[in-house]
Chains A and B, each alone.
Chain A
Amino acid sequence: MFYLITFTLIYLAITVYFSWLGYRRTVTVSDYLLAGRQVHPVTMGLSYGATYISTSAIIGFGGVSALYGFGLTWLSFLNIMVGVFIAFVIFGKRTRKMGKALDAHTFPELLGRRYESRFVQGFSGLMILIFMPVYTAAVLIGISRFIEVYLSIPFSTAFLAFLLITSCFVIWGGLKGVLYTSAFQGVIMVVSMIAIGITSYYSLGGISEAHRSLDAVTPCIPQFLKEAGHRGFTSMPETFSSIWWYVITTMIMGVGIGVIGQPQLNIRFMTLKSDREINRSVPFTAIFILCTTGIAYAVGALTNTFFYSTYTELPIHAVQGNVDKIIPLYIDRFYPQWFVALFLVALMSAAMSAGSSQFHALGTSLSRDIFEQALLKGKSVAETTIVTRVGIVFSIFATLIIGLVLPESIVAVATAFFFSLCGATFIPVYLFGLYWRRGTKPAAKASILSGFFTSLIWMLLFHQQEAEAFGLCRKLFNTETLAGHPWNMIDAQVIALPIGLIVFVVVSLATRPVHEETVKKAFVHI
């Protein structure tokens, strides 16, 4: 407890100092403007990474890796290749230029202005407002599970306490200086994850030895997992088995590709001065992702050796099936108490940096996208600030309720749900908006609606995991899911994203293009 209080106080003091520093620097607007936005690439890389990688990646996906093994390294590959390189170079550069040309301040606003459609902006804002709290809840559940294990207090108490802390940070701290604080939070995350990676591999005798040690554990894999396609922690699941479809389409592709449609990340590109800043941020963000997710997934799988050699049981048994507790329990059992406290502070920073930008994205979705554009037809009024606050308070309450209602082993599942929904809904309009001048307003509407509703229908009636959880299919058709193997295991994004892309192209070719002036304006810097 002594370590925890000491580290937390030091952490909070430094966070407050950086917030103040950021605040002081943004007060003198004209100086700031003349100097240009000299955001150091390391700051941008760490800040983007800390928003992208939260507790859900470390706790949730680390736990999933403990269950399914090293197959998840494909997700860290996509995290870097798609989440950094493609997101920055293919999408980021044009997003920045188009955002500036169209004077867009939120992601839905960029789409709305590109297609001259208030509906696109309003609907996108509404979708974010309704579904992002599921992801925010997942992020906060991740840290709360750790507090539950470390302090031995009930999960609901830990969740409520942490939500309260994050809310205070968001409401009073605001976005001012968020770049500095999230970069600082990023440093803590990288340092503690590298420490965990090195110590875990070192104590197992090096990289090859550590991986080889997992073979000894393979016979202990529960029978039901073996029957579903589990072939060991250093092998991919059996091709086309239930686990294979689940790991590949939901865990790897859902998050790996869905990241492109994440509104709280895309908005970051619009704050950069030139393409040079994007180029320079790429290596730092990639190193950050490698050190956080790469290590989290590897250590997640290695926990099997640690638990088996010490307690002769697999971590999944030690946590009574709740995968979200595997990483917290591993750190708690195998590391000195001072390090556990330090890691908790690292997770706190991960949750706070991701949580605060999510709450702000939610607040601005309600005020700028739904209230100003969809309801007031584009009029800007003084009440917008109040509406932003209402949006933030609403999303805090929504997160609270969702967090307490969600079942166990949910962090990675809820994260994949939101990423995949955003991917299917936004990627077609976003991609074509940046690269195809011929894209039309009706096509944007049709693509967003078809991507969104195909995902939703697939989740409620076909994809086993969500269909069972929601129970709508059972009520309507008296069966758990309308699809048999393998369709019941295939993630919604794999079905809905191609549909959204096809609908966009077909409708665009059949309808009138967006006004030429708008297209010219959008592409002026490109």
Chain B
Amino acid sequence: MMLGFLDPWVLAGFVLTILSAIFCILYGIRNWNRGGTEKEGDYREEIQWEREEIELIEKLP
């Protein structure tokens, strides 16, 4: 009986929950500086998109 659980399936769920959180932390650390640049480096499009996004948000009540 590990961690006080009788059923191995419940133990598996409990352990996997913690492992999945650790996995996400490791993923974040490993990829901390990756993905900073876009494939198409056209910032005009990005600025236009963000401008419209902000205008839309500001229009909301």
Contact B60 A525 (CB under 8 A): no
Number of B interface residues at 8 Å Cβ cutoff, please give it.
Answer: 47
Set of chain A residues within 8 Å of B56, measured between Cβ atoms: 105
Interface residues of chain B: helix, strand, loop or mixed (majority): helix
Query: Could you tell me if A282 and B13 are in contact, using CB atoms closer than 8 angstroms?
Result: no
Q: Which of B13, B16, B39, B58 contacts A70 (CB 8 A)?
A: B13
B39–A212 contact, CB under 8 A? no
Q: Which residues of A contact B16 (CB under 8 A)?
A: 74, 77, 81
Could you tell me the distance in whole angstroms from the C-beta of A214 to the nearest C-beta in chain B?
Answer: 8
Instruction: Please state if B39 and A26 are interface contacts (CB–CB under 8 Å).
Output: no
Complex contacts, A271 vs chain B, CB 8 Å: 53
**Bound form: Cα–Cα A105–B60 in Å:** 13
Please state if A283 and B25 are interface contacts (CB–CB under 8 Å): yes
Tell me the complex Cα distance, A236–B13, Å. Answer: 10
Min CB distance, B10 to chain A, in Å? 5
A32 within 8 A of partner (CB): yes
Tell whether, in the assembled complex, residue B25 and residue A234 are in contact, meaning their CB atoms are under 8 Å apart: no
Does residue A215 face the partner (Cβ distance < 8 Å to B)? yes
- Tell me whether A80 and B24 are in contact (CB under 8 A): yes
A103-B52, A283-B25 as given contacts; A80 in contact with B32, CB under 8 Å = no
Chain B residues with Cβ below 8 Å from A84 are: 24
Q: Which of A37, A70, A175, A282 contacts B57 (CB 8 A)?
A: A175
The smallest C-beta distance from A178 to any residue of chain B, in angstroms, reads 9
Flag B3-47 by CB within 8 Å of A: 1 or 0 each.
Answer: 111110110011011101101110111011111111110000111
Complex: how many Å from CA A310 to CA B16?
32
Tell me whether B7 and A234 are in contact (CB under 8 A). yes
With a cutoff of 8 Å between Cβ atoms, the chain A residues found around residue B17 in the complex are 73, 76-77, 80, 290, 294
Q: How far is the CA of A113 from the CA of B49 in the complex (A)?
A: 15
Interface segment among A186-194, A273-281, A456-464, A511-519: the answer is A273-281
Stretch of A55-63, A203-211, A419-427 at the chain-chain interface: A203-211
CB–CB B5/A33 < 8 A: no
A275 & B35 in contact (Cβ 8 Å cutoff): yes
A207 to B17, CA, bound (A): 15
Mask: chain A, 308-352; 1 = CB below 8 Å from B; 0 = not: 000000000000000000000000000000000000000000000
**Distance between Cα atoms of A340 and B20 in the complex (Å):** 31
**Partner among A37, A103, A273, A286 whose Cβ is within 8 Å of the Cβ of B20:** A286
Given A81-B20, A290-B21, A526-B39: A283 in contact with B13 (beta carbons within 8 A): no
Contact assessment for B13 and A77 in the assembled complex, using a CB-CB cutoff below 8 Å = yes
Jot down 26 A-B pairs with beta carbons below 8 A, ordered by A.
Answer: A26-B54, A29-B51, A32-B54, A41-B28, A74-B13, A74-B16, A77-B17, A105-B56, A207-B4, A211-B3, A234-B7, A271-B53, A275-B34, A276-B35, A276-B36, A279-B32, A279-B35, A280-B32, A282-B28, A285-B24, A286-B20, A286-B21, A290-B17, A360-B60, A389-B61, A526-B39
